[in-house]
Amino acid sequence: MNLIIDVGNTKAKIAIFSKGKLLRKNSLPHAELKPELKSWIKKYKSLKKVIIASVGPIKDTHFNYLPKSLEKIIVSSKTGIPFTNKYNTPKTLGVDRVALVAAAARLYPKKNVLVIDAGSCITFDFINSKNEYLGGAISPGIRLRYEALHNFTANLPLLDAKMPANYLGRSTNSSIHSGVIYGLINEIQGVIDTYKENWSDLTVILTGGDAKLLSKRLKNSIFANPNFLLIGLNEILEFNT
């Protein structure tokens, strides 16, 4: 059994995999991570390996309480990966993006794949049919867009994300919702269309915390997979052990 730990900017995700299958997962605030992990370790006696990927505020030293009997991988730029990385600055490539590409390499071999992760940031990552990662893009996520409108203007309120009933905003609040949500949907749609112009038989994966909100409004055929990053981390763990 494998223990997967993904520390994001706002929350942490943990999962249990056995023979490549996801058995259990949880998403929780950073403050609840340690007691939850201790509970899981106590319950799952067959755990053998653990992988840790953190882009959030929790550092690697936080996990010193994990049993030393667990074979541990901490994802970094030096970690072995199941694809060829042609990114010009591999040391700056986020471990979350590495995991997403690893999942694409595992689940869609010999395919051109664009992975879109709708989280704190919107990331676009492309791996071609030759198993080569070529790069992608990083854009502000939904929450960042709402916060930017509020923080950098004098009078606009800070709103919670909401799918507007109509693209035509008829109040300040509905105009903000329309601008943020439809603006992002059109951005994602435009990126997909651009990739499709340059890469045939493109497979598009949408994942991340805001994927559910966005997926129904996108025109192109996409595969929504909320567990894509966890699958990728498990693949990296297996690849290195």
Of 63-72, 98-107, 194-203, where does the model show the most confidence?
98-107
Q: How do residues 2-23 score in pLDDT, each as one tens digit?
A: 999 999 888 999 999 999 999 9
Average pLDDT over residues 187-215: 93
pLDDT at 61: 76
- Is 225 strand, coil or helix? coil
Q: Which fold has domain 1-74?
A: Nucleotidyltransferase; domain 5 (3.30.420)
Whole-structure pTM value: 0.93
Q: Which fold has domain 76-241?
A: Nucleotidyltransferase; domain 5 (3.30.420)
Contacts of 194 (CB under 8 A, 6+ apart): none
User: In whole angstroms, how large is the CA radius of gyration of the chain?
Assistant: 19
Q: How do residues 117-168 score in pLDDT, each as one tens digit?
A: 999 999 999 999 999 999 999 999 999 999 999 999 999 999 999 999 889 9
- Is 223 strand, coil or helix? strand
Q: Band of the pLDDT at 49, cuts 50, 70, 90?
A: very high
Q: Where are the domains of the chain?
A: 1-74, 76-241
Q: What is the mean pLDDT of the chain?
A: 94
Q: How do residues 61-98 score in pLDDT, each as one tens digit?
A: 789 899 999 999 999 999 999 999 999 999 999 999 99
> How would you write 137-200 as a 3-class SS string?
EEEECHHHHHHHHHHCCCCCCCCCCCCCCCCCCCCHHHHHHHHHHHHHHHHHHHHHHHHHHHCC
Within 10 angstroms of residue 218's Cβ, the number of other Cβ atoms is 18
**Matching fold, domains 1-74 and 76-241:** yes
Residues 141, 198, 223, 215, CA torsion sign: positive
Separation in Å, CA 78 to CA 74, 119, 135, 197: 10, 25, 18, 34
Pick 60 or 187 by higher pLDDT.
Answer: 187
pLDDT at 30: 93
Residue numbers annotated as active site: 96
Separation in Å, CA 3 to CA 6, 16, 81, 162, 166: 10, 5, 18, 34, 43
Looking up tokens 């009078």, which residue turns up? 155
